Amino acid sequence: MILSEEREIVLITAKKALAEGLVRLSFGNFSVYDPKTGYICITPSGIDYSELYPEDIAVIDIEGNEIAGKHKPSIEKAMHIEIYKSRQDSLAICHTHSTYATAWACTAEELPVLVAELASRTGKSIPKVPYFEPGSDLLAQAAAKALKKSDVALLSNHGIIAVGKTMKLAYANALITEEGAMVAYLASRIGRTIEIE
């Protein structure tokens, strides 16, 4: 099986995200880029992550042509491609629909960076991409632009996108953003929040 190790990494990450509540069913998407072949291993479209096997992970080239896999690649393949083209230091992407981060993405407010773990990864602010239809070229271009100077961005009314040099780092960025979003919400209910200087 072509790129079996990379496909296994994508599969394990998708199942982990499902177990940890960062995604549900087949929502969100995950990918790794292999610079040797120029291929991207990405979750398929519309298949529940609990039912995935390594051979279900789609393989596409950097132009979006299908190379391998039993199913169509994620409808967000254009977003992953654009990000890999603009962030050559990033070899993995996690797009999640985690509850608290998505809630902040559905507001006109910025997600305040209140916890040190998040600040060390994002700095004092997290960019927010305007709403564009999922799977559209407009969303792909806007997400890639937002991630030029950040490893995490909120997608308005949609979710978050996180990148990393490895899948482990990309996943940690997504998970810590969700944790930071939850803390920001809870802290705002308690009283006046203290932002990191």
pLDDT in tens, 62-78: 999 999 998 999 999 99
Cβ(119)–Cβ(132) below 8 Å: no
pLDDT on residue 182: 95
Catalytic residue positions, numbered: 76
pLDDT on residue 41: 98
pLDDT on residue 88: 93
pLDDT in tens, 124-141: 889 999 999 999 999 999
pTM of the predicted structure, to 2 decimals: 0.94
DSSP code per residue over 131-166: P--TT-HHHHHHHHHHTTS-SEEEETTTEEEEEESS
pLDDT on residue 125: 86
pLDDT on residue 193: 80
pLDDT on residue 191: 84
Angstrom distance (rounded) from CA 196 to CA 123: 9
Q: Would you state the CATH architecture of domain 4-190?
A: 3-Layer(aba) Sandwich (3.40)
pLDDT on residue 120: 83
Name the stretches of the chain with pLDDT < 50: none
